[in-house]
Every structure is written in structure tokens, then in C-alpha cells.
Amino acid sequence: MKSLIAPTTTKKTFLDIPNAAGLAGFSVRHFRRIIEDERIRVLEIGRKFFILTADFDKWQMSNQRKAS
């Protein structure tokens, strides 16, 4: 019997700093500096730091407008 449920793509809710830096096209060190300067909200879970995907998307959209 075949499943009628369509496969869905899941969007991560949290991005760790190295993955967010890679998506933004910056080194981890430079992206940490951007987080400090532009006050991007960061969550600390245990010993790791994460950025909400929604906050990352907002930051990207604001940077696209500045570059235009």
C-alpha cells in the first residue's frame, strides 16, 4: 500500500553560528562580529549559541535593502 502523504521539507527553527555564517557567506569570526554590531538575537542552549531562522531571514532581508 502506497502512502498518500506528500514528503515535506522541514525548515530548521534554529541555526548554529557556523551554519548561519555559511548561509550568509561570511567566516564564523566575521559573522560573530556582525552579530555583535547589528545586535542579532542569539539564544544560548547549553554551551552552544543559536540564531532563530526568522531572525536570520529578517537580517538577510534588511541587508539586501541596504545593498540596493
Query: ∠ at Cα 58 (53, 59), nearest 5°?
Result: 95
Residue 7 grid coordinates: 514528503
What is the edge-to-edge ordering of all strands in the sheet holding 43-45? 14-16, 48-52, 43-45
Which strand (E) or helix (H) includes residue 61? Answer: helix 53-67
pLDDT value of residue 64: 76
Q: Which residue has the higher pLDDT, 12 or 22?
A: 22
Which tens digits make up the pLDDT trace of 19-60? 999 999 999 999 999 999 999 999 999 999 999 999 999 999
Sequence-distant (≥ 6) Cβ neighbours of residue 17 within 8 angstroms? 28, 31, 32, 35, 42, 49, 50, 51
Global pTM reads 0.73
